[in-house]
Structure 1
């Protein structure tokens, strides 16, 4: 009995690892794409493919779900068709079925936005899905033929990617150069994914007027919060100001101090490269 189970277990392991090799080649393709897109930055591709990132913060969660979720289910279904109809076992047919699965995902569940041209976006997304489906199929085929491929793409690569991401959790800043002055904070950086606190002391009744401007060399997002002296859960009385003038991007407004203490202006960068500048002034009135 045990002798019979061993070959079956080995075949099952090879089969599953071959499928994982397909997903691994998709991850490798995603890394290569983000590497070129980031001007060959060594760190940004790993951040963009972070699986715990939301859809607005990179392609990570979406790509992992598509490859290790939808992709695995689709390839198992295609193998089921091949068992039912031997004609589906031919390589060309298998490649065509995987391509169709990558395309149809975005047609059955439309990747659309509520504005004109969304059908074009659906078509582009479907084409990208079809290309990654071919990567998946190619990795699967390579994994069947080589134990080295199964080990590298099926196991080592995704573990390396996840390991690098675990070593650099949220809150990463690279080449951070900051300047502080009276009513001024400036920072220039190659990469920011996290927050930077700018403390401002005010007495009860005083009003802090401030502006926060961002210069982004490429992509990424930014935001802002204001906290009171009581800690992270203490939201200050912040009142937004008018839009910044000219081409400046950022925020402005006033903080109305309801007690003496250190108020914190929090700058939030989401995978951004560029500069940050915060200026503020505290009026002389105090109760």
Structure 2
């Protein structure tokens, strides 16, 4: 989630899909708003096809929701020029803030570091806590849960 490279790929994919869907709507006048929404949802799912069905279900649902937000933004941008610039600047800015926010939750976290051991006890943990481990070739590292 916090890889800016992946987000730039998804964002670029969204822009390319939007352009393609808009060109399709111009070439085929029978494409209505409902069909455009279906294309956006489909585009949200398609990018995850190479990664297997589980990613299609989970990632595709998130992708479809994001594509609907993207469609809503482009729709509102046509109605209001001020919204167009606010959306174009704020959407990537909000994504950057979310990507750089740490949502880790630790309750009653206690840790002890020694020369050859690290112990952490906690009542609740959700997120990430990096623990540097230094080892040389030939040494054994053992983990216990």
Q: TM-score, normalised by structure 2?
A: 0.70
Hey, what does 2:103 align to over in structure 1?
A: none
Hey, what does 1:176 align to over in structure 2?
A: none
Maintained 8 Å contact 1:102/1:130: yes
Structure with the higher fraction of residues in strand conformation: 1
State how 1:36-185 maps to structure 2 within 5 Å. Answer: 50=2, 53=3, 60-66=4-10, 68-88=11-31, 90-107=32-49, 110-112=50-52, 119-159=53-93, 162=96, 185=113
Deviation at 1:161, TM superposition (A): 5.6
**What is the SS of the residue equivalent to 1:224?**
coil
Deviations 1:112-131 (A, max 9, x none): 3xxxxxx3343222222222
Determine which structure has greater relative contact order: mean sequence separation of CA pairs < 8 Å that are 6+ residues apart, divided by chain length. Answer: 1
Which residue, out of 102, 126, 132, partners 1:218? Answer: 126
Structure with the higher fraction of residues in helix conformation: 2
Q: TM-score, normalised by structure 1?
A: 0.39
- How many residue pairs match? The answer is 133
Greater Rg, structure 1 or structure 2? 1
Unpaired stretches in structure 2, ≥5 consecutive residues = 101-111
Deviations 1:125-175 (A, max 9, x none): 22222221111111110111112322221114434664x68xx7xxxxxxx
Computed over aligned residues only, the root mean square deviation of the Cα atoms, in angstroms, reads 3.2
Matched, 1:240 2:120: no
